[in-house]
Amino acid sequence: MRYSKLFPKPQKLGKEYDSANATFLINGGFIHQEMAGVYALLPLGLRIVEKIKAIARKEMVAVGGQELIMTSLQRKELWEKTDRWNDEKVDVWFKSHLKNGTEIGLAWSHEEQITEMMKNYVTSYRDLPVRVFQFQTKLRNELRAKSGILRGREFLMKDMYSYSTSEETHTKFYDEVSQAYLRIFENVGLGADTYLTFASGGAFTQFSHEFQTLTDIGEDVIYLHRQKKIAINKEVLTQEVMSQLGVNQADLEEVRAAEVGNIFSCGSTKSEQLGLFFNDESGQKKPVILGSYGIGITRVMGVLVEKFHDDRGIMWPEQVAPYQVHLVGLDLHDDSIKKRAESLYEALVKREVEVLFDDREEVRAGEKFADADLIGNPIRLVISKRTGEQVEWKRRNEKESQLKMVDAVLSDLVKNY
């Protein structure tokens, strides 16, 4: 991608918002605020979201998930069956109505909808298990949006639902997803600070499990056991729970964290409410066992910025960075330097290295470096009159740069990715 064509260009780091993620993502041109708590994904932001999605998708497919997309318009009757149409029970509803007056809801979750749909396709134990997932926009009428894209009214979520014939197959799958989730957070770069956290489980199981990433901007307070690599949400912390999990209060550390994912077992309650049953081998009618698994994709992007930035901008982990390489061409009014920069750019493109090439002739070095730091691609290459036949190589998270030959740059980049 040529910087001269990039839409939109980052802005000079000016306005500060209520959080680092909002400040850098908005000034950097990754997202655009449409209204309070509602953000459009601009080209740079979309690239990151797509990378996070790809990482999540790979793991979901690996555990047997099949991708689909449900709708945002939902029937009222669906939610009345589980008593969640009521604004007293669910306070985040956006509701509207059709021309003929029929009331509809805008999807804040898809659990009811997918489960209801399953009635059309699941009648026998032979049809199970089924695991489906989607990346879908959730619409939630939050009383107050805050913390940039960490708590919005419209956001992208990866949600998966599992339908099993027995508690055993469900539990086995649940554990597989739990492991898959840890890999996902590892692979997006949050592994070191993301903890499997015991949280309230609702009616069916004692616990649900959250994936909490340590950050001061997080809304949750959790108690961390670093050695065991687990945590307990404050909402369920009791003496009984601690002894059950084999931990002492003395080993727990109180920290703030942001919930990036959660998984929970719903048992058969919802299936019974909605009427999702199957016939087992003996012809006996049984309710399907349901599990629900979510990851806040756009929230993950926000948490990444919270974790990985300095005062100049973002420092994306390689796996999710918009481009692997930020190539800065200086002194481009000199034809021979311009030729070298162009040929390196073409060589990188040819080798399918993701590269953003700052090809602007009229912009000075300082501004180009500032833009590179704000956007936060992991490797910065510079070609200028100072670099001679070589190329300056610097990582975003390091101070020192080094000069390398073009061939070495190319082979290092192709090797890495």
Q: Which residues bind RNA (CB under 7 A)?
A: 10-15, 17-18, 33, 35-37, 90-92, 108-109, 142-146, 151, 200, 202, 219, 312, 330-331, 333, 362-367, 369-374, 382, 384-387, 392, 394, 401
Residue 31 or residue 330: which is nearer to RNA going by CB? 330
Residue 188 or residue 382: which is nearer to RNA going by CB? 382
Residue 374 or residue 413: which is nearer to RNA going by CB? 374
Least distance in Å: CB of 51 to RNA? 23
Q: Is the dihedral of CA 243, 246, 250, 255 positive or negative?
A: negative
Residue 187 or residue 322: which is nearer to RNA going by CB? 322
Least distance in Å: CB of 34 to RNA? 8
Least distance in Å: CB of 248 to RNA? 27
By DSSP bridging, strand 355-358 and strand 325-329 are parallel
How big is the CA angle at 238 (ends 233 and 240), to the nearest 5 degrees? 125
DSSP of 161-227: EEEESSHHHHHHHHHHHHHHHHHHHHHHT-GGGEEEEEEE-TTTSSEEEEEEEE-TT-SEEEEEETT
Gap between the Cα atoms of 401 and 350, Å rounded: 25
**Virtual torsion, Cα 82, 87, 91, 97, nearest 10 deg:** 90
Residue 165 or residue 262: which is nearer to RNA going by CB? 262
- CA nearest 62: which of 183, 169, 171? 183
Residue 51 or residue 394: which is nearer to RNA going by CB? 394
Taking CB atoms within 8 Å and a gap of at least 24, the contacts of 277-281 are 278/122, 278/123, 278/124, 278/125, 278/127, 278/128, 278/165, 279/123, 279/124, 279/125, 280/125, 280/165, 281/125
Least distance in Å: CB of 36 to RNA? 3
Contact 232, 252 (CB under 8 A): yes
Gap between the Cα atoms of 55 and 66, Å rounded: 15
- CA nearest 327: which of 406, 417, 416, 411? 406
Least distance in Å: CB of 106 to RNA? 13
Least distance in Å: CB of 246 to RNA? 26
Residue 61 or residue 408: which is nearer to RNA going by CB? 408
Contact 190, 255 (CB under 8 A): no
Least distance in Å: CB of 95 to RNA? 14
Residue 367 or residue 407: which is nearer to RNA going by CB? 367
Least distance in Å: CB of 204 to RNA? 11
By DSSP bridging, strand 130-139 and strand 66-67 are parallel
3-state class (DSSP) for residue 121: coil
Contact 241, 198 (CB under 8 A): yes
Residue 79 or residue 185: which is nearer to RNA going by CB? 79
Least distance in Å: CB of 220 to RNA? 8
Residue 88 or residue 281: which is nearer to RNA going by CB? 88
Residue 55 or residue 295: which is nearer to RNA going by CB? 295
How big is the CA angle at 315 (ends 392 and 182), to the nearest 5 degrees? 130
Structure tokens at 130: 């089924």
Least distance in Å: CB of 410 to RNA? 19
Residue type, 74: Q
Contact 148, 299 (CB under 8 A): no
- CA nearest 179: which of 68, 187, 202? 187
Least distance in Å: CB of 325 to RNA? 15
